[in-house]
Structure 1
Amino acid sequence: MNDILNQAIQIAKPNLSKGKLADYIPELTKSNPQNIGICIVDLEKNIYEAGDSNVKFTIQSVSKPIMLALALLEYDEEKIFSKVGKEPSGDPFNSYMKLEIVKPSKPYNPFINAGAIAIASIIKGENLQEKENKILDFFRKMACNPDISINDSVYKSEKETGHRNRAIGHILKNEGIIEGDVEETLDLYFKQCSIEVTVKDLALMGLCLAQNGINYNGERILDEKISKIVKAFMFTCGMYDESGEYAINVGIPSKSGVGGGIMASVPFKYGIGTYSPSLDCKGNSIGGLDMLKFISEKLNLSIL
């Protein structure tokens, strides 16, 4: 397995210069565009790592499946899907166009920004601090890592420049999707995106979903139904408006983030985490895409 991971990195490296960092979040431009790392965890608890696997980065949109899982623990499906739909949008992740033109209005799915903001709005808690503590505790349990925390510099950078997300939040409030305070909801959303992880953390969270809710330590975190719902969204909506092409080329339930991470979950086989902050025009990690395509073909991992 170590040889396969190192091969994947060598195949991906030449393409890193073709992408760019997520410069609309200024703090993310401090990343090294040549960093590339990968981790795979199997059902026997073997952990394989290669490349820049110890580099920390912010989770960004890879947080969205975990937040959806948490919301499904707190509410029934009817409540969740009164706020967000179940279909791919076909639009960029930060678009709000369909909120304006499709009536009745609600985000197409929980993985576009509008849908993730809607999910953040219903997380239970007396105040923002209680909600923040809750989501951190949940991410830590999923990844079996008690040291996961929020990168304060990235959080502040997102909050200061997140004008488009702020606009989405107010549209959602106007449409009755957000019931509470918009700024508190956005603050929680910016914080979830600023959670700092490594590829090992992503692989362990992917393994928890691959095992239908049982984490690396053998603790049941989610029931099977929630795990299956989350993986279904990962397969159909997880790679922004590149999800269909990715399903054909790689065929693994996955979720990407503009911090450069991708979490992949191969049912009953592996959890995989990749990191490479150089992004393509859709916002997906170029190195991550190349590595996952190679590994999927090499190990015959496509679920199709």
Structure 2
Amino acid sequence: MPDDASLCRTPDAVQSFLEGLYQSCRELRGGKVADYIPELAKVDPNLFGICLVTADGQVFEVGDTAHLFTIQSISKVFVQGLALEDHGRDYVLARVGVEPTGDAFNAIILDEASKRPYNPMVNAGAIATTSLIAGDGPTERLNRLLNMFRRYVGHDIVVDVATYVSERATGDRNRAMAYLMRHFKMVDWDIEEALDLYFQQCSVMVSCRDLAVMAATLANQGVNPMTGDRAVEAGYVRDMLSVMYTCGMYNFAGEWAYRVGLPAKSGVCGGIIAVVPDQLGIAVFSPPLDGRGNSVRGVRVCEAISQEFGLHLFDSSRGCHYFLEHLGGKERLISLSKENS
């Protein structure tokens, strides 16, 4: 194990590490851009950004961190939180399970015994979760959804209409899931209305930096570290991170937990978020995907960051790792675990 001094990180050292990681990972050429939604196929595969935001609001970034893209499946984490706030843990759990599937994210499959979708991170579970959002009609529900995302990112956001229309036109597989769930009374709404909101949720525009702030908000017990606004009740952050850890990377979730060891969520946009509870949020954006729908560069970047800073939740050396904190214009080293706080 390296000594404590070698694990200390000033802001310049953190930034330097990210820049070196960016240069090495940008040479990766594996994977391909998602094309089953026509609008996603138009994205530039060379776009690449990395951003870290700490729970006290420090930002480290490199690459295309301001480029806007649609959030896609990363939205599922935050909509789960809104559904939990609207209905509570027991009600949501009666409609959507929390078990990993080992199947593809768009598999048309429900739990054989309970008839629930397996978890909120696969499409079936996400559609059911979205259908739990409270509101008097589709406009109010969409506004509540957008306001929820605004609290996480700290500014107004919009839905990309072209992507929404593209998803709606090619969403028959999702329709099949929705009708199956309505048959088993897991979805109560009109199917097209529920799917419209789901397609709009996936078409929200964000940047890599936005995603890092969203991840840092979860790391900070639901409070946006940049604005101080509460985005979600603290008591539900545990639920969100738990499902992210076991189900957030689709049928790569087990290997991700083994190699990276952090709650995370990917999307076919090429984004990945990861959360180090009480410490920081990580976001990577790179559109080319592997065969499981995860960003090729994103997986490599997160694995490298976890290893470099000892962030794996079960790494016994985590108490030796430090970042720099700014207090009143002064700097002091702080631990990345609570052992030395």
Fold in common (TM above 0.5): yes
On the 8 A contact 1:40/1:203 being kept in 2, the answer is: yes
| Aligned residue in 1 for 2:160 | 151
Unaligned stretches of 5+ in structure 2?
1-13, 315-341
TM-score (norm 2): 0.86
8 Å CA contact retained: 1:8, 1:290: no
Q: Which residue type is aligned with residue 89 of structure 2?
A: E
CA contact (8 A) 1:11 1:290 kept: no
* Distance (whole Å) between structure 1 residues aligned to residue 181 and residue 24 of structure 2: 42
What is the Cα deviation at residue 257 of structure 1? 0.3
Which residue is 1:271 aligned to? 281
Per the TM alignment, residue 76 of structure 1 is displaced from its structure 2 partner at its CA by 1.5
The partner residue of 2:72 within 60, 76, 80 is 60
- Percent of aligned pairs with the same amino acid: 41
For residue 174 of structure 1, what is the amino acid of its counterpart? H
Q: How far is the alpha carbon of 1:104 from its aligned partner?
A: 3.0
* Preserved contact between residue 109 and residue 117 of structure 2 (Cα < 8 Å): no
Q: 1:97 to 1:220 in 2, by over 3 A?
A: closer
**Over alpha carbons, which structure has the higher Rg?**
2
Deviation at 1:219, TM superposition (A): 2.3
Any conservation in 2 of the 1:209–1:265 contact (CA below 8 Å)?
yes
Deviation at 1:27? 0.3
Which is helix-richer, 1 or 2?
Answer: 1
2:51/2:62 contact within 8 Å kept: yes
**Which secondary structure does the structure 2 equivalent of 1:14 belong to?**
coil
Aligned to 1:2: 15
Q: How far does residue 11 in structure 1 lie from its aligned partner after superposition?
A: 2.6
Deviations 1:108-129 (Å, cap 9, x if unpaired)? 1111100000011111111111
The 8 Å contact of residues 11 and 291 in structure 1, kept in 2 or not, is answered as no
TM-score by length of 1: 0.96
User: Residue in 2 aligned with 1:202?
Assistant: 211
Given candidates 55, 69, 74, the residue that maps to 1:43 is 55
| Counterpart position of 1:179 | 188
The one-letter amino acid paired with 2:22 is I
- In 2, the alpha carbon distance for the partners of 1:135 and 1:97 equals 26
Q: What is the CA deviation profile of residues 115-165 of structure 1, one whole-angstrom value per residue up to 9, with x for unaligned ones?
A: 00001111111111111111011001011122x111111100100011101
Is residue 212 of structure 1 aligned with residue 225 of structure 2? no
Give, in angstroms, the shift of residue 14 of structure 1: 2.4
Deviation at 1:208, TM superposition (A): 0.8
Report what 1:108 is aligned to. Answer: 118
Alpha-carbon distance in structure 1 between the residues aligned to 2:77 and 2:291: 22
Describe the SS at the equivalent of 2:131. Answer: helix
Maintained 8 Å contact 2:217/2:281: yes
**Residue 151 of structure 2 is aligned to residue 132 of structure 1:** no
The amino acid across from 1:215 in the alignment is N
The AA in structure 2 aligned to 1:141 is R
Any idea what SS the aligned residue of 1:18 has? coil
For 2:56 and 2:172, locate their aligned partners in 1 and report how far apart those are by CA, in whole Å. Answer: 45
What are the equivalent positions in structure 2 for 1:15-26 lying under 5 Å apart?
A: 15=28, 17-26=29-38
Q: Distance in 1 between matches of 2:216 and 2:202?
A: 20
Matched, 1:227 2:200: no
1:281 aligns with 2:316: no
Count of equivalent residues: 300
Matched, 1:160 2:173: no
